[in-house]
Structure 1
Amino acid sequence: MNDSYLNFVNSPFGARFVRALGLPSPEVLRRYRADQPEFEGLVAIGAGRAPHLLDALASLVVSIGVTSVAHESAGLWVPLAQRHGLMTGRFEPAEAGSPGKLAALLFDASGIEDSSQLQPLHGFFHDTLRSLGKCGRIVVLGRPPQACASPRQWTAQRALEGLTRSLGKEARRGITANLVYIAQGAEHDIEATLRFFLSPRSAYVSGQVVTIDTSAARDTSDTSNTRNTGNARPLTTPAFDWAQPLAGRRAVVTGAARGIGASIASVLAAEGAHVIGIDIPSARDALDATLRQLNGTALAFDIAAPEAPAQIAAALDEQGVDIIVHNAGITKDKTIAKMTDAMWQSVIDINLGAQERIDDALLGAGILRDGGRIIAVSSISGIAGNRGQTNYATSKAGVIGRVQSMAPHLQARGITINAVAPGFIETQMTAKIPLTLREAGRRMNSMSQGGQPVDVAQTIAWLAHPGSGGISGQVVRVCGQSLIGA
C-alpha cells in the first residue's frame, strides 16, 4: 500500500514544507536487497568496565567485513582487533557530529555490575550518536538480569532497557536501537542475532530486548527423515552457509496465499528452505501461484476444521519439517457488547486454537524434527489491547502465552518457539482502515511510518535461522517501536 505522506516528505519541496511546520519527517528505510551489500561502513565500538564480549564482537566484525573504530571507553578493542587482523582506528570526540560517518554503534555493557558504572554509556552515545548515519544501527549488549549474581548487578543490567528504548526514540532518521542480553556460555552463539540487528533486514525492528541462552541451542544439521528418539543431542552450533542458511530445511507457512504469509514464504525460500504453504481451499488459486514461483508445495486446508491437523500431519509425514510458521489469522471487529458469540469463537479458534491443535499433531508424531523452529504471529494488540478487538487481542495474547509456556517443554528436543508481534503493517487489511485511524497507526512509532510485510518475514527468517537456537520463549515486536504496547 502506498504511503503518500512518506513520498511527499522525501521530495525536495515536501522536505522543506514539513521542516517549516515541524511535522513528522519519516525516512525511507533501507531494507535488504540481494543486489546491494548487506554490511558496509564504519562501526564504533564502546564498552563499560571489564567487558566480556569484545572477543565475540571482534569475530563478528571479521565475519561481516566492516571496519571498526574504538571509542575511548573501549580501550581494549584496538589490541584485540589487531590480534584478529582487523583494520581499526580510534574514534576522536572531535569527530562527533560528522553526519553519516558511522553505520553502527556497538556497546558492550556485559561487565557493568553497579549503577555507579553506567557512566560510560553516556560518554559513548554522547560522543557518537550525532555521527550515526541515516538508517544506522545501535546495539547494546548485556547480561540477562535474572541471571545476575547480585541485586545491584541485576539493577544495572535492567537499566539498559530504558537506555536502549530511549535511544531509539531520540535517534530518528530511520535508526534502530536494540538490546541483546547474552547468557554466560552463549557468547559464541550471537552472530546470527547481531547480523540481523545490524543489517537492513531489521529495518522496522527497534526498541526490542532479546535474550540469547545456551539451553535451546542444539545441532540441527541432520535433516534426515528420522523421528524423535527422546535422546537430547549435545549443544553445538550447526554448520550452515550464511548466504543460504535454510538450505535443506522444510518450512510450513499457514496463510501463505497472499500478504504477510506470501512474503514469509518468499523470504524463507530465498534463504534456501523448501516451503510448504497452507491456506483455505477458496484461496487455492492464489496459493498455487505464490508457491509455484517459489518451487514450493501448496496444501489447501481449512486449519479451523477438526480434521485439519490430522490431514496436515499426513501430508507432511513422509519427509517431516524443520520450521512451522503460524501466520494464518482473521479479524472480526466489534465492541464486545455488539460482538456475537460466533464472531468471538471463530477468531479464537483460527488465531489460537488451530495453532495448538496443529502443533499437538506434528509434535506428537515427531513430524517436526528435533532442533526445529516454531514461530507464531501475534500482534501488538495482544500486548496493549485494542478497542473493538477483544476477541483478536485475546487470541494474540494467548499466542504469547503459548510461546512462553511451551518453550521449557520443547527444550529437551532442541526445538525453539517464539513469536513476532507486528504493529501497523501496510497490507490489504490495513488499507481498509478509515484514513484518520490509518494515519495514526502509521505515525505513532519511532519510524513515523507503517511497516512492510517483508519486515515481518525477515524477522521470522532470523528466528528460523539455525544460528538462533539460543532464542526461545520470546516475543519480538515488528512495529517501528510503536508508542502502543511499548
Structure 2
Amino acid sequence: MNDTYLNFVNSPFGARLARSIGLPKPEVLRRYRADQPEFDGLVAIGAGREPQLLDALADVISRTGFTSVAHQSAGLWMPLANRHGLMTGRFEPAEAGPHGSVAALIFDASGIEDSSQLDAAYAFFHDTLRSLGKSGRIIVLGRPPEACANPRQWTAQRALEGLVRSLGKEARRGITANLVYVEADAQSHVEASLRFLLSPRSAYVSGQVVRVGAVPAMQPPAFDWTRPLAGQRAVVTGAARGIGAAIAAALAAEGAHVIGIDMPSALEALDASIRQLSGTALAFDIAAPEAPAQIAAALDELGVDIVVHNAGITKDKTIAKMSEAAWHSVIDINLAAQERIDDALLAAGTLRDGGRIVCVSSISGIAGNMGQANYATSKAGVLGRVQSMAAHLKERRITINAVAPGFIETQMTAKIPLAIREAGRRMNSLSQGGQPVDVAQTVAWLAHPGSAGVTGQVVRVCGQSLIGA
C-alpha cells in the first residue's frame, strides 16, 4: 500500500511546498537491499567512565564495512596504533566525509555507576548528534539494571532508557535509536544484535531495549554472515500473504528452507508464495484440534530449527457488542493455537535443541485498543507466553521472543478509514507506517544463530509509536 503523503512531500514540488508552509516531511527510510552495501560510512564511538564493552564493539566494527573514530570529549582514549584500527582524537564533522555526516553513533555506557557520570553521554551526543546522517543509527550499550551491584548503578543504567527514547524522538530524518543491555558474560554474543541495529534491516525499529544474556557453555555453530540460516528449516504460519509471506521470503534469503502453513482455503496463494522460495507449502487449519499433531507428523522426519507464529485474525467490536464466537475464535487462533503447536513440536522433539521460536504479537497487546478487546487480549497473551517460557526452554538452548508490529502497510490496514489510517501512520517518531519487510527482518534477526543470547523479549516494530509508549 502506498503512502501518498510520504511520496508527495519527498517529490521536488512537494518538498518545496512542505518547506514553505511548514508541513512535516517524513524521511524515505533506507531499507536493506542486496545490491547495496549493508554497512558503509563512519561510526563515531564514545564512552563513559571505565567502559567495558569497547573490545567487543571494536571487533564487530572491524568485521563490517564501517570506519570508526573515537570521540575524545566522551572520555575515550585509545592508542593510535590500536589493533582494531580505531582512530583517536576529537570527532569533527569534517572527518565524516563531504556532507559532514556519520552513519552511526555508538556510546558505551557499561561502566557508568552513578547518575553524575551520565554527563559523558550528554557530551558525546551534544557534540555528534547534528552530524548523524539520514537513516543513521544511534546505539547505547549498558548493563542490565537488575544485575547491577548497587542502587546507584541500577539507577544510572535505568536512566539510559529515557535518554535513548528521547534521542529517537529528537533525531528525526529517519534516524533510529536503541539500547542494548549486555550481561557481564555475554560480550561474545552481542554481534548479531549490533549488526541488526546498525543495518538498514532495522529501519522501523526504534526506541527499543534489547537484552543480550549469557548462553550455556558450548561450541557456537559455525555460520556464514551472508547466509546464516543455510541448512536450517523454518516453519512460518499464515505464510500465504502479507507479513507472513514477507517473513518466509526473509528467512529464505538467509538460507533457510521454509515450510509455509496456511488455511486450506489459501492454498493457491500459499503455493504461489512458497514456490518462489523453493520451499514447502502445507495446508492446515491451525485452530483444528488435530492440527498440532498433524503438523508435527508432517515435519517429524527432518525436524525444524525455527518456528514463526504469524497466523492471526481480527474480529473487531466493542466487548459489549462482541459475540462469544468472535471472542473465542480470536483467542483460539491468535494464542491458544500457538500453545498447542509448540507443545506438540516440543514433546515430539520436532523443534530441535538450539532452535528458535518467534511469535508475532502487536502493540495492541501492549497498549490495548478500542474495539479490539479480543485481539489485544490474545496478543498480550502472546507476550506472556514469551516471557514465561524463556527460562523453561533455556535448558534446551531454545530461544523464544516476540515482535510487536505497529502500523504496517498491509491489505488489512488499507481497509482502515482514512483519518484513522493517517493518524496511525504519523503517530510515531518516523512519521510513517512500516512495511511487512520491517517485521520480517526483525524476525530473521531473532531467528539468527548469533542471537542465542536474546530470549524472553518483546521487540516493537513500530517506528517508536506514541501508542503504548
Quickly name the TM-score band, shorter chain normalised.
Answer: over 0.9
Give the alignment's TM-score, normalised by structure 2. Answer: 0.98
Corresponding residue for 2:290? Answer: 307
Distance 1:262 1:100, change over 3 A: farther
Corresponding residue for 1:235? Answer: 218
Whole-angstrom distance in 1 between the partners of 2:113 and 2:426 = 38
Once the 2 structures are TM-superposed, how far is the Cα of residue 94 of structure 1 from its aligned partner? 7.0
Corresponding residue for 1:186? Answer: 186
Once the 2 structures are TM-superposed, how far is the Cα of residue 70 of structure 1 from its aligned partner? 1.1
Corresponding residue for 2:125? Answer: 125
AA in 2 matched with 1:474 = Q
Q: Which runs of 5+ in 1 are unaligned?
A: 219-233
Distance 1:85 1:208, change over 3 A: closer
Deviations 1:452-471 (A, max 9, x none): 00000000000000000001
Corresponding residue for 1:474? Answer: 457
**Residues 48 and 73 of structure 1 are in contact (CA less than 8 Å); yes or no, is this contact kept in structure 2?**
no
Once the 2 structures are TM-superposed, how far is the Cα of residue 17 of structure 1 from its aligned partner? 1.5
Corresponding residue for 1:392? Answer: 375
Whole-angstrom distance in 1 between the partners of 2:179 and 2:155 = 15
Moved more, 202-211 or 86-95: 86-95
Moved more, 35-44 or 68-77: 68-77
Corresponding residue for 2:68? Answer: 68
Once the 2 structures are TM-superposed, how far is the Cα of residue 73 of structure 1 from its aligned partner? 3.8
**Residues 135 and 176 of structure 2 are in contact (CA less than 8 Å); yes or no, is this contact kept in structure 1?**
yes
Distance 1:91 1:363, change over 3 A: same
Say if 2:101 is the partner of 1:84: no
Moved more, 83-92 or 12-21: 83-92
AA in 2 matched with 1:478 = V
Say if 2:388 is the partner of 1:405: yes
Say if 2:230 is the partner of 1:247: yes
User: What is the SS of the residue equivalent to 1:78?
Assistant: coil
**Residues 330 and 350 of structure 1 are in contact (CA less than 8 Å); yes or no, is this contact kept in structure 2?**
yes
Corresponding residue for 2:337? Answer: 354
Say if 2:331 is the partner of 1:325: no
> Percent sequence identity over matched residues?
77
Corresponding residue for 2:161? Answer: 161
Once the 2 structures are TM-superposed, how far is the Cα of residue 85 of structure 1 from its aligned partner? 4.4
User: What is the SS of the residue equivalent to 2:107?
Assistant: strand
AA in 2 matched with 1:426 = E
Deviations 1:115-155 (A, max 9, x none): 01000111000000000000000000000000000000000
Moved more, 2-11 or 83-92: 83-92
Corresponding residue for 2:429? Answer: 446
Task: Tell me the matched-pair count.
Answer: 468
Once the 2 structures are TM-superposed, how far is the Cα of residue 13 of structure 1 from its aligned partner? 1.6
User: What is the SS of the residue equivalent to 1:458?
Assistant: helix
Say if 2:153 is the partner of 1:170: no
User: What is the SS of the residue equivalent to 1:470?
Assistant: coil
Once the 2 structures are TM-superposed, how far is the Cα of residue 90 of structure 1 from its aligned partner? 2.9
| Root mean square deviation of aligned Cα | 1.4
Whole-angstrom distance in 2 between the partners of 1:94 and 1:176 = 20
Whole-angstrom distance in 2 between the partners of 1:236 and 1:122 = 40
Give the alignment's TM-score, normalised by structure 1. Answer: 0.94
Say if 2:462 is the partner of 1:463: no
AA in 2 matched with 1:254 = T
Distance 1:288 1:70, change over 3 A: same
**Residues 304 and 352 of structure 2 are in contact (CA less than 8 Å); yes or no, is this contact kept in structure 1?**
yes
**Residues 96 and 130 of structure 1 are in contact (CA less than 8 Å); yes or no, is this contact kept in structure 2?**
no
**Residues 48 and 75 of structure 2 are in contact (CA less than 8 Å); yes or no, is this contact kept in structure 1?**
no
**Residues 189 and 237 of structure 1 are in contact (CA less than 8 Å); yes or no, is this contact kept in structure 2?**
no
